[in-house]
A and B are shown apart, each in its own frame.
Chain A
Amino acid sequence: MSFRQRHLLGIEDLAPRDITTILDLADQYVDLNRAQVKHADTLAGLTQINMFFEASTRTQASFEIAGKRLGADVMNMAMQHSSVKKGETLIDTALTLNAMHPDLLVVRHPMSGAVNLLAEKVNCAVLNAGDGRHEHPTQALLDALTIRRAKGRLHRLTIAICGDIAHSRVARSNILLLGKMESRIRLIGPPTLIPAGAADWGVEVDDDMAAGLRDADVVMMLRLQKERMDGGFIPSEREYYHRFGLDAEKLGHAKPDAIVMHPGPMNRGVEIDGTIADDINRSVIQDQVEMGVAVRMAAMDLLARNLKAKPEGVYA
């Protein structure tokens, strides 16, 4: 097993075998997480800091549990309330934290590229927990693990990603990952929420759910990111639900065994019908949350091995 990355900043930097390495290890951690004693000491003695410049409940909790189950000392910093408000720049914040010698830094930031910038300034391993509209690599990895466990493979699947693609880092990371694993991707949404140039990404683009969902193996719904919209992308939520919300009728166009995914948090009745989300035969939304912890354990484990492999005091 070889995983040579120093940070996990995005799917863009990973080769297909890196992805497989993470998912294989994550599979083992799923078993650990289902056991009664959920504790390993893989990260014992290491310090993990979760730095969230943007509010998050589930991702932060997932990273925290992942770190604790592996024995790391975990600290959470809610940055949106702290020194940033006092005018400190991102780089100064990074240098300050770096002086405390963390080993793993989990960062979420509202600006695209901010985590890359921060990673240049610190000596520890940095995990991107979402930067602006750019990437959210652990989400794409947990989605991949969920798909792989449900469908038995990641290649030659038809995957429909529906909704607010433009504002979604989840969509970008998933498009990169599933493209690398050689699946077929369709983006479906109103043209105002499809990013410019998406057609050049090697994906199909559709603005009609019935046509876009035809023969899909996986239906991945995205949250309508109202907080990132500065006006006028869709006429109303009810029209959006009518045209793009996933209900039983629209899902009928997909394959009979198609699974339904959502990164959460869901807006029920906006992008997805509650009964679909709760349908245990179709929805794998709760599985995604479970896989999230395992994937994050695997990613931190692999990055920590590279930290240990490095000679003392030498940082490239």
Chain B
Amino acid sequence: MSLLIAEALLIDPEAGTETEGAVKISEGKIDRVLTQPAEIEAEMFRMRNILRCGGKVLAPGIVDLGVKVCEPGERHKESFRSAGRAAAAGGVTTMITRPDTTPVIDTPEQLEFVARRAAQDAPVNIHPMAALTKARQGREMVEIGFLRDAGAVAFSDCDSVVADARVFARALTYARSLGALVVAHPQEPGLTAGAAATSGKFASLRGLPAVSPMAERLGLERDLALAEMTGAKYHADNLSTARSLPALERAKAAGLDVTAGANIHHLTLNELDVGDYRTFFKIKPPLRSEDDRQAMVEAVASSVIDIISSMHTPQDEESKRRPFEEAASGAVALETLLPAALRLYHAGQLSLPQLFRALSRNPARRLGLPSGRLAPGAPADLVLFDAHAPFVLDRYALQSKSKNTPFDGAKMQGRVLRTWVAGEEVYARG
């Protein structure tokens, strides 16, 4: 069945435009994108199934790189069903899942389990990542070829750094021969060990073990050198500090096949938000200074940082209600990703096309997916939202099983109204 989504503000991250118009979808794909009044009028006359949006924003659905669904192992924290609902409610039409589950996704058999569970239970697209080394221990590479055949879109040991440069170099070299993307969260593990905060006045006053942001730059510089050496496809994810940016710019200018990502929390919060040991603000790497946050937002605007992701990490109450040093890291963010990102739009720092370039188009492109575009032939993965609707976030209203969001009680602006995946409506508000 065809549908005409009319009277919407269309965000085209590819062209960098926002225009009033309509989108016709049929058979799961975008059929036409209409911006000329005469064309729209003609199509509205022809079509029976029309959704009038009253000027609300229509954008390509978010492609979220690095979502943790706690299946297998910790289904009480998050399942494919609950994560899928949260994604749909948050305008995320594609989740790229992390392999740092228990057990680690490091064999084709485990990857098939994930793919099957995802297809059964989640209303959105799911593409799994696999670990880069067995059990994420940084010693032996996984079966990159088999895993790629089984559907792994990228390979990552997530927050566990492959400390041995020789192992990492070999894995990059091998991955390159298969054209596989390697995703890393660069840090120097010797410096980050045991740290719960970013070193500086705040962490010292709170008496928290802390790490210098320089640890990230050290890890990134090493990874970039190895990417240059091997020619591999490399994505530095979860970057958080200004000190990382010059190295990144140099690598990109030198033509390396390198991209970079940031976690929405590092773009919208800073270390002072931790306040009196509020563990819902404990993430990894730890929240940084306000200067770092500003630099990261500017880096998204100038495309030094390509991708914004939620780094969705469910944790139950028990693992968070502990002394700060012992408490688990991470935050749920599938549903808060868009309203949090819209803070940057409302602050005048990023335009809507710039935001969706980082949320949808760039991640889809980097992973070789056809989505992330508002163009004929692209999958009809779309999100319709009111960019201005104000609300106060109630964590118990979230779809995720875990409620560990730092935005509980926060005033936010921007609500998802409808979400479509391959032309199917998977979420409609109220």
Contacts and interface: CB of A to CB of B under 8 A. Distances in A.
A221 to B, nearest CB: 20
B201 A113 contact: no
Contact of A131 (B200, B205, B207, B276): B207
Contact of B203 (A116, A117, A196): A196
A131 B324 CA distance: 12
Given A113-B277, A116-B277, A196-B200, A201 B205 contact: yes
Contacts, number: 71
Interface in B210-228: 210, 212
Contacts of A117: 277, 321-323
B194 to A, nearest CB: 7
Contacts of B212: 196
Given A132-B325, A134-B207, A197 B200 contact: yes
Interface string A158-194: 0000000000010010000000000000000000000
B102 interface: no
Given A91-B321, A230-B194, A197 B207 contact: no
Contacts of A82: none
A112 B324 contact: yes
Interface residues of B, number: 22
Interface in A108-150: 109, 111-114, 116-117, 131-135
Nearest to A12: B205
Mostly, the B contact residues are loop
Contacts of B206: 112-113, 134
A249 interface: no
Contacts of B210: 196
A195 B211 CA distance: 11
A197 B203 contact: yes
Nearest to B199: A196
A200 interface: yes
Contacts of B203: 196-197
Nearest to A111: B323
Q: What's the interface size class on A, roughly?
A: 20 to 34
Given A113-B276, A117-B277, A196-B212, A172 B324 contact: no
Contacts of A196: 199-201, 203-204, 210, 212
B345 interface: no
A210 interface: no
B121 interface: no
B149 interface: no
B281 to A, nearest CB: 12
A208 B323 CA distance: 36
A266 B325 CA distance: 28
B318 interface: yes
Nearest to A135: B207
Interface string B314-333: 00001001111110000000
A113 B204 contact: no
Contacts of B323: 90, 109, 111-114, 117, 132
A195 to B, nearest CB: 4
Given A111-B323, A117-B323, A197 B199 contact: yes
B202 interface: yes
A91 to B, nearest CB: 6
A114 B205 CA distance: 15
Interface string B163-205: 0000000000000000000000000000000100001111111
Interface in A191-215: 195-198, 200-201
A236 interface: no
A112 B321 contact: no
Nearest to B321: A91
A89 to B, nearest CB: 7
Interface in A60-118: 89-91, 109, 111-114, 116-117
B208 interface: yes
A168 to B, nearest CB: 9
A201 B325 CA distance: 23
A90 B320 CA distance: 12
A109 B202 CA distance: 20
A195 B203 CA distance: 9
Given A111-B323, A132-B325, A196-B200, A116 B276 contact: yes
Given A196-B210, A230-B194, 14 more contacts: A12-B205, A90-B322, A91-B321, A109-B323, A111-B323, A111-B325, A112-B206, A113-B276, A116-B276, A133-B207, A135-B207, A169-B207, A172-B205, A197-B202
29 contacts: A90-B322, A90-B323, A91-B321, A111-B324, A112-B208, A112-B277, A112-B325, A113-B277, A113-B324, A114-B323, A116-B276, A117-B322, A131-B207, A132-B207, A132-B325, A133-B207, A133-B208, A134-B207, A135-B207, A169-B207, A172-B204, A172-B205, A195-B199, A195-B204, A196-B201, A196-B203, A197-B202, A198-B204, A201-B201
Q: What are the 10 tightest A-B residue pairs by CB atom distance, in nearest-first order?
A: A134-B207, A133-B207, A113-B277, A111-B323, A197-B201, A195-B204, A112-B207, A196-B199, A114-B323, A197-B200
